[in-house]
């Protein structure tokens, strides 16, 4: 049996499982396909981790495609060791230019002074910047398109990881925020991390690839909470997914939190 046939048989077997009978995003039971999230474009040589496959209807799966390619570019930029000479980065850049040219146009280069200030704050001082070989690096700031794409990504993570760890299609709201790399030094951050007891193993064909994608989570009936990072992160993503019946009536999304509004089947 050829690789293509074996792969197709694997998808059929996956979609035949009782828990995979509805789209993880909209709840539809029609025209189901297999979605990989995080997307292949987030990983070196597109080698995505094992166990991160989800049932998705064709409409939802296809609708995410161009956004995921642009997100591959943004995620590669979040790596401190990004190199514009790497073929992976150039491929992500071409995809972003083709599918989301506005994303590229909106990137705003910070002045040398602001870039220096940003690097010192992020890495913990001028000595740390020098030790990292980043003296003279220029920072860029995302525009509305980039921020919107990252918010979409957080919603998809809320839906897929809630499904993975709670074994049901999510219906509710996702809240998300971003923390700078320097937050890892804060006691409050370490306290939150210590309470997230779920530490999944991220593997591809048996090899540990948690250096490319790592998260800690806490899942309960009606809720999922996680802190995620990619590669060597400049920022951490904090995601809270709460089902409709568990959303507090007085919930506020102030202080830099994004609130999705209703997602999933209502």
Q: Where are the chain's structural domains?
A: 3-71+144-259, 108-141
Q: Which long-range contacts (CB under 8 A, 24 or more apart) does 121-125 make?
A: 121/180, 121/182, 122/180, 122/181, 122/182, 122/234, 123/181, 123/182, 124/182, 124/185
Residue carrying the six token digits 């209502």? 266
What confidence tier does 5 reach under pLDDT thresholds 50, 70, 90? low
What pLDDT sits at residue 158?
A: 97
What pLDDT sits at residue 253?
A: 67
pLDDT above 50: residue 257: yes
What are the pLDDT digits (tens) for 145-173?
A: 999 999 999 999 999 999 999 999 999 99
Instruction: Let me know the angle formed at the C-alpha of 148 by 136 and 113, rounded to the nearest 5 degrees.
Output: 20
User: What is the pTM (predicted TM-score) of this model?
Assistant: 0.89
Mean pLDDT score across all residues of the chain: 88
What confidence tier does 248 reach under pLDDT thresholds 50, 70, 90? confident
CB 89 within 8 A of CB 135: no
What are the pLDDT digits (tens) for 60-90?
A: 999 998 899 899 888 888 776 666 556 778 8
What pLDDT sits at residue 2?
A: 47
What confidence tier does 216 reach under pLDDT thresholds 50, 70, 90? very high
pLDDT above 50: residue 100: yes
Q: Is 76 helix (H, G, I), strand (E, B) or coil?
A: helix
Is the model more confident about 129 or about 170? 170
What pLDDT sits at residue 9?
A: 56
What are the pLDDT digits (tens) for 169-199?
A: 999 999 999 988 778 888 988 988 888 999 9
What confidence tier does 136 reach under pLDDT thresholds 50, 70, 90? confident
């Amino acid at each position: 049996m050829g690789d293509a046939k074996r792969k197709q048989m694997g998808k059929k077997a996956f979609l035949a499982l009782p828990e995979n009978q509805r789209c993880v995003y909209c709840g539809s039971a029609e025209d189901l396909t297999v979605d990989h999230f995080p997307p292949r474009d987030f990983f070196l040589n597109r080698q995505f981790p094992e166990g991160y496959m989800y049932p998705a209807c064709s409409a939802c799966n296809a609708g995410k495609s161009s956004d995921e390619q642009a997100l591959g570019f943004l995620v590669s930029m979040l790596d401190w060791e990004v190199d514009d000479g790497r073929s992976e980065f150039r491929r992500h850049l071409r995809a972003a230019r083709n599918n989301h040219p506005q994303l590229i146009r909106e990137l705003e280069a910070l002045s040398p002074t602001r870039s220096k200030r940003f690097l010192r704050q992020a890495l913990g001082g001028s000595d740390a910047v020098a030790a990292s070989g980043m003296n003279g690096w220029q920072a860029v700031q995302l525009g509305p398109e980039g921020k919107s794409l990252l918010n979409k990504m957080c919603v998809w993570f809320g839906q897929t990881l809630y499904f993975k760890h709670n074994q049901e299609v999510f219906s509710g709201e996702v809240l998300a925020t971003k923390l700078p790399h320097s937050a890892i030094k804060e006691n409050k951050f370490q306290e939150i991390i210590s309470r997230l007891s779920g530490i999944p193993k991220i593997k591809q064909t048996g090899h540990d690839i948690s250096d490319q994608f790592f998260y800690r989570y806490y899942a309960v009936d009606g809720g999922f909470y996680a802190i995620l990072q990619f590669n060597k992160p400049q920022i951490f993503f904090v995601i809270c997914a709460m089902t409709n019946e568990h959303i507090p009536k007085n919930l506020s999304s102030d202080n830099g939190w994004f609130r999705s509004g209703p997602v999933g089947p209502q």
